[in-house]
Amino acid sequence: MDVEKQIEFLRAELREHNHRYYVSDSPIISDYEFDQKLKQLQELEAKHPQYHDPNSPTLRVGGSITKNFETVTHDYRMYSLSNSYSDEELNDWLERIQKLVDGPIEFTCELKYDGASINLTYENGALLRAVTRGDGYQGDDVTANVKTIRTVPLKLKGDFPQRFDIRGEIILPFDGFAKMNEERIKEGEDPYRNPRNTASGSLKLQDSSEVAQRPLECLAYSLKSNSQPVATQFESLELIREWGFKVPQAAILAKGLNEVKEFIAYWDKKRHDLPYETDGVVIKVNSFYQQEELGYTAKAPRWAIAYKFKAEQTKTILKEVTYQVGRTGAITPVANLEPVDLAGTIVKRASLHNADQIEKLDLRIGDTVFVEKGGEIIPKITGVDLEQRNVNSVPIEYLQRCPECGTQLVRNEGEAQHYCLNAEGCPPQIIGRIQHYISRKAMDIEGLGGETVALLVRNGLIKNYADLYDLTMDQVIPLERMAEKSAQNLIDGIIKSKNIPFDRVLFALGIRHVGETVAKKLAKHYNTIDNLAQVSQEDLVEVDEIGSIIAQSVKKFFNSVENKKTIERLKGYGVQLEIDANKLENQTNKLEGRSFVVSGVFSKVSRNDLKKLIEDNGGKVSGSISKKTGFVVAGDNMGPSKKAKADNLGVPIISEDEFLLMIS
């Protein structure tokens, strides 16, 4: 056998043994024999570098150093999941989705493992890259570290698409976590707090050989591809298991909600027997066709929901209440607690939300309070142990003046929160607005983080986001922890932000109640910042989905003399404050005022492209048929109940060709 064939044979053999040991739990050779074969391959590869393979089993040991993790945009957005905590909420979810799809609905139930989400991209059966979830749109490339995880296949078996993504959870089993802490204690170091945070932190270690020493695992749960090889979620789990991924066996196919609830009840009791952390059950509509029919909200798929197990609870002492000031001037009270261990993390603080919450709980300094993690993530106070209350304690009086600038706080009628109205002089508001402006979903200024913004403000270099465009290298370099290269990256990032499109700039301005979705609607409707600034409150309310509160907030922003000055400055710096003319050429108002429901499978354009065509031509896409629906665009396999509802309400049903003719 020649050297190349010998190397390929050893690689294939080691991949198979690796899969048997780490994924199938059915090894057929000893650890010693495996190590000897690996050593033999390492020696051959060292002597013959011309046969290098970036996915060789020898690279599982790590060794590469990553100083900066590159930001990568996901091919398919990684959405969050909506949460439920009761049978009633599950019933409500089922009722909602039954209105949007036809026929019986089956569900795939999977355990929700508590780790770090990862997106694995494969091309021609080999691992191309591994990217963290990030903000759902883009994340960090951690490929070198993920290659060291034995349950991530570097080469696949079987028949698979040319390119696809696998979603999974990087977890740290309890046994491995315990051994890691034993070693740390022996070496005189503090133990790690919990498996989840340790797994997440491992992905961003600079030295991949250090990651290789950690017993991380990857549990796969989703296949994303332009050409799905199967029709259901449950089939996809079985398929990717055949390709070589570790897919938990606990998943089931449930015929209805009763079977879903039985699965939840079983694992709520048995979850403590599992080798990994889990905090709930994920329920997904099984049919990919029905998933496509249901679509997504701005944040989550409508076809999936996470049922969270009841949160763990403990008791501790309330030491004091402090107050934080947000970028809009909103005041948030924070409970400072005697440190306590809760679900594997030390809890010292909990949000109290507003004055009403403090009054409702009747909180007093020195109280023994019940603390739990809402959804096992954010600590919250749920009650007071009145038996342990000091008889001389007095109710907490809510703060009257801003803790940062001393301005008298205001609480508007109908609102829960108090506000500091000193927008131009209150440091946290100034810093918060600029931090929002530079954030990833807004101007996405590379090289500029929240801490640097605070540093720039404290040093008197900037007072609002327009000041960023006046910054020079000479001003920035003397700052703490700022080298010449990082200063240059900051200045370059600011210059690059001038190309960010108008809708994101509008979101970045930080107008109260104007989030990403509203900013897109306003930008598309008015095209320029000047048009938006001049429109009346009455006209704003006429825009689809813009209510009186948003309209009021927009007018208040543009009536401010300071905001007008800032916008004029942004114009002068070349920031995009109108929609690009090229984009406008592809948009019309032909469908303005009309609402469309899209149902079925289409041959000339995809469902998503069809929805985009509706929106680009001024129409609105709705998920369900009502009296307000203008047209149903029907493709093949349109559901019979949707057709019946459209007929009953007299809503016209048009074909794909008729729709395309409508906008041509």
Which residues are tagged catalytic? 112
Place of tokens 């469902």: 607
Among positive and negative, which fits the CA dihedral 247, 374, 134, 59? Answer: negative
What are the DSSP E strand ranges found in 286-423? 304-308, 313-325, 331-342, 345-351, 368-374, 378-384
How far apart are the C-alpha atoms of 130 and 142, rounded to whole Å?
A: 6
Asked if residue 501 lies in contact with residue 579, where contact means CB atoms within 8 angstroms, the answer is yes
Distance CA(533)–CA(589), nearest Å, equals 21
> Longest Cα pair distance anywhere in the chain, in angstroms?
88
Other Cβ atoms closer than 10 A to 71? 15
Tokens standing for 148? 């060291």
233 residue type, one letter: Q
Strand ranges (E), 201-329: 217-224, 252-254, 278-285, 304-308, 313-325
Alpha carbon 341 to its chain's center: 27
**Is the torsion defined by CA of 97, 103, 104, 105 positive or negative?**
negative
3-state SS, one letter per residue, for 560-608: CHHHHHHHHHHHHHCCCCECCHHHHHCCCCCCCCCEEEEECECCCCCHH
169 touches 116 (CB < 8 A): yes
Is-contact 323 418, C-beta < 8 A?
no
CA distance 426 to 325: 9
Q: Classify 228 as helix, strand or coil.
A: coil
Amino acid at 584: L
Of the candidates 182, 181, 219, the one whose C-alpha atom is nearest the C-alpha of residue 198 is 181
d(CA 514, CA 503): 11
Q: Tell how far CA 642 is from the center of its chain.
A: 32
Over the Cα atoms of the chain, what is R_g? 28
CA distance 433 to 456: 13
Angle subtended at Cα 449 by Cα 479 and Cα 299, rounded to the nearest 5 degrees: 170
Q: Residue 459 has which token pair?
A: 């040093």
Cβ-proximal residues to 432 (8 Å cutoff; 6+ apart), any chain: 325, 326, 327, 328
The C-alpha atoms of residue 221 and residue 251 are separated, in whole angstroms, by 10
Give per-residue burial for 114-141: e unless 16+ CB within 10 Å, then b: bbbbbbbbbeebebebbbbbbeeebbbb
- The helix (H) or strand (E) run that includes residue 621 is strand 620-622
Cα distance between residue 90 and residue 284, in whole Å:
12
Cβ-based neighbour number of residue 544 at 10 Å: 12
Tokens found for residue 496: 């690059």
DSSP lists the bridge partners of residue 556 as none
Distances from the Cα of 208 to the Cαs of 68, 147, 204, 212, in angstroms? 13, 9, 9, 6
